[in-house]
Amino acid sequence: MSSRNNIILTGFSGSGKSRVGAEVARVLGWRFIDTDSEIVRRAGKPIAGIFSQDGEAAFRRLEREALAEACSGSERVISAGGGILTGAGNRRLVLESGLVVGLEAAPETIHRRLAAHGAGEGAESRPLLTGPDPLERVRTLKERRQSSYAAVHWTIHTDHLTEAQVAAEVIRAKQLLGARVTGGVFGGGELAAVVTHANGSYPILVGWGLLDSLGDRLRRMGIDGPVYIISDENVFPRYGRQAQRSLQRAEIEAHSFTVPPGESSKSLSMAQAIYSWLASRRAERRSVIAAVGGGVVGDLAGYVAATYLRGMPFIQVPTSMAAMVDASIGGKVAVNLPQAKNLVGAFYQPRLVLADPQTLTSLGRRELAEGWAEAIKHGFIMDAGLVSVFESRAAELMALEPGISTEVIRRSIAIKAGVVSEDERETLGRRILLNYGHTIGHALEASTGYGAYLHGEAVAVGMMGAAELSRLAGLMDAAEVQRQRDVLEMFGLPLKATGVDLEQALAAMSLDKKSSGGSIRWVLLDGIGKAVARSDVPIDRVMEVVRGLVRES
């Protein structure tokens, strides 16, 4: 088992080690080292020059020295040269220095990638691949080295993956194997997931007491401010100020703006007020907006970040359960209109999500339960095993026992992160599955003026409606519907709604963002842990179910 906490990338030339390594280091906030670049720096000449003037033996000596220096520290991402594992001493060194990940690709893929870099660059940096038949040379040399590549801890086949996807797989390998390889020192196990998107990726960190490290984390990611904290009047005195102190300890300039708590702050007029504040502070495009609070603050701050100066970097520091497991992940940012929630918004991804479950200890039981509703939803749509955890550990979760609560939050986050990585803008159909219970839930919120029900409470009622529609469609049986009812009741969540104007609720559903061609795309369950999207649910059946869920007085 290694005493150091590094990631060492190895593989044949053209496997993408340098670019992938740089991206992994950026996401983790670690130092990136390319051993080939270090060799060139030490020798004062290009690799081809070392081979031609000093010979391969001299190159291998410099390679060993560069590798030893790179592996001497911790929290480093190291791109090791294509032939570095052929030496037994080098293999032993990297395997003792952290997680060794091999990037694999077919000879044809490698040849195509090397050719795309241009003959000049290939000849300059890869002298062993020069010759009249480069593809055959790749095949021969790769076959000779394959037994060395087999010594790695984890292998990723990169042929059909983008560099961002490979980077995410490297980090996933660290999540899966890190404790076994490095003795569990990988950031205290805080990395819950990595979201990949069209423009890159970002980490989601989860850990009890993590908020105090915010400033240091941003510094390590290359973020040095200024940071503009947006929070609400209830959250800021306790956690916004704590975040601000952490930033100041890291010598990051920090300013704050607070809004009234509640859904009514998620408005265009409040966004305008924040725009004016940013302008008065002369905020620049390189400045960072930090959302410290629940889902309302995250949506509002994210919308401002997406639109002010045509886009500013922002980070999410969720302090409510619903924000941690749902709203802070995936880049959906928006404000409300009187007609319905989230009608004006954007897909705009954060640079970091940092979730500290200890911040949840100040929540009341109602607020905690409504947050667990989103995590329970994740289990019912994609993870039947997680549903069992909620059934067997409900009391501990409602008491916010640190171990099991942090574990379940991480597991729920990983579900959402995986979905949004596959379907960033809800175009492939998979991301819509996260809206289980939301069509009716959003309608209940809108028809009651966004004040009578907390979001998770409305979603819980909506989940019961969706489960009943699933039963009527022949997808679920009565026992499965009852199982969902029992879990929601364990957490004190409502199963029906009162004080709702039925006509207003139905009108709000017609504005649902998941509508297509006038038909609502319903998210239903084809059994526990398996969600499906359907557009063929008869409107009379919907009205029957909604009437059974709501009472006007």
CA angle 223, 227, 230 (to 5 degrees): 135
Residues 352 and 459 in one domain: no
Flag whether 182 is in a domain: yes
Flag whether 395 is in a domain: no
Residues 215 and 260 in one domain: yes
Residue 90: active-site member: no
Q: Which domain holds residue 422?
A: 407-551
Task: Give the pLDDT band (50/70/90) at residue 311.
Answer: very high
Flag whether 370 is in a domain: no
Flag whether 427 is in a domain: yes
pLDDT for the residue numbered 405 = 95
Listing from the earlier edge strand, what are the strands of the sheet with 31-34?
A: 31-34, 76-79, 6-10, 98-104, 154-157
Residue 426: active-site member: yes
Pick from 107-121, 207-221, 243-257, 414-428 the range whose average pLDDT is largest: 243-257
Residues 300 and 415 in one domain: no
Residue 143: active-site member: no
- 197 or 345: which leads in pLDDT: 345
Question: Contact at 8 Å (CB) between 398 and 339?
Answer: no
CATH number, domain with residue 422: 1.20.1090.10
Indicate if the pLDDT at residue 84 is higher than 50: yes
Average pLDDT score over residue span 365-391: 94
Average pLDDT score over residue span 361-369: 94
Flag whether 525 is in a domain: yes
Average pLDDT score over residue span 164-188: 68
Pick from 123-127, 292-296, 507-511 the range whose average pLDDT is largest: 292-296
Q: Which of 266, 442, 471, 521 is catalytic?
A: 442
Residues 50 and 127 in one domain: yes
Residues 522 and 544 in one domain: yes
Reported as half-sphere exposure (CB side, CA atoms, 13 A), residue 255 has a value of 15
Indicate if the pLDDT at residue 314 is higher than 90: yes
Q: Which of 5, 6, 90, 435 is catalytic?
A: 435
Average pLDDT score over residue span 174-189: 54
Kindly state the helix (H) or strand (E) to which residue 317 belongs, with its residue range.
strand 314-318
- 137 or 335: which leads in pLDDT: 335
Q: Tell me the whole-structure pTM to 2 decimals.
A: 0.73
How many domains is the chain built from?
A: 3
Residue 455: active-site member: yes
Q: Which of 166, 187, 208 is where one domain is finished?
A: 187
Q: Which of 363, 389, 415 is where one domain is finished?
A: 363
List the structure tokens of 297: 């603050």
Residues 175 and 230 in one domain: no
Residue 41: active-site member: no
Indicate if the pLDDT at residue 188 is higher than 50: no
CATH number, domain with residue 90: 3.40.50.300
Average pLDDT score over residue span 334-344: 89
Question: Contact at 8 Å (CB) between 291 and 304?
Answer: no
CA–CA dist 15, 9 (Å, integer): 10
Quickly count: other Cβ atoms within 10 Å of residue 323's Cβ.
26
pLDDT for the residue numbered 513 = 53
Average pLDDT score over residue span 338-358: 93
Residue 17: active-site member: no
pLDDT for the residue numbered 124 = 41
Percent of the chain whose pLDDT exceeds 70 = 92
Flag whether 89 is in a domain: yes
Residue 476: helix, strand or coil by DSSP? coil
Closest Cα to residue 255, out of 235, 274, 238? Answer: 274
pLDDT for the residue numbered 173 = 84
Residue 310: active-site member: yes
pLDDT in tens, 462-494: 999 999 999 999 999 999 999 999 999 999 999
Q: Which of 363, 389, 424 is where one domain is finished?
A: 363
Q: Which of 431, 513, 514, 521 is catalytic?
A: 431
Residue 393: active-site member: no
Q: Which of 17, 145, 332, 521 is catalytic?
A: 332
Mean pLDDT of the chain: 88
Q: C-alpha 210: how far from its chain's center?
A: 17
Residues 248 and 126 in one domain: no
Q: Which of 416, 471, 513, 521 is catalytic?
A: 416
Q: Which of 160, 199, 282, 310 is catalytic?
A: 310
Cα(first)–Cα(last) distance of the chain, in Å? 64
Q: Which of 75, 104, 374, 424 is catalytic?
A: 374
Residues 439 and 496 in one domain: yes
Flag whether 460 is in a domain: yes
CA–CA dist 301, 58 (Å, integer): 55
Range with lowest mean pLDDT among 172-186, 224-238, 311-325, 536-550 = 172-186
Three-state SS letters, 243-270: HHHHHHHCCCCEEEEEECCCHHHCCHHH
pLDDT for the residue numbered 178 = 61
pLDDT for the residue numbered 116 = 75
Q: Which residues contact 143 (CB under 8 A, 6 or more apart)?
A: none
Q: Which of 426, 445, 457, 468 is catalytic?
A: 426
Average pLDDT score over residue span 523-547: 94
Residues 411 and 526 in one domain: yes
Flag whether 330 is in a domain: yes
Q: Which of 377, 378, 411, 455 is catalytic?
A: 455
Residues 168 and 243 in one domain: no
Residues 40 and 147 in one domain: yes
Torsional sign, CA 539, 543, 549, 553: positive
Residue 332: active-site member: yes
Residue 431: active-site member: yes
- 124 or 235: which leads in pLDDT: 235
Average pLDDT score over residue span 209-228: 93
Task: Give the pLDDT band (50/70/90) at residue 180.
Answer: low
pLDDT for the residue numbered 340 = 77
Residues 346 and 243 in one domain: yes
The residues pairing with 523 across neighbouring beta strands, listed in sequence order, are: 533
pLDDT in tens, 10-23: 988 888 899 999 99
Range with lowest mean pLDDT among 64-73, 129-138, 154-163, 319-328 = 129-138
Q: Which of 153, 438, 471, 514 is catalytic?
A: 438
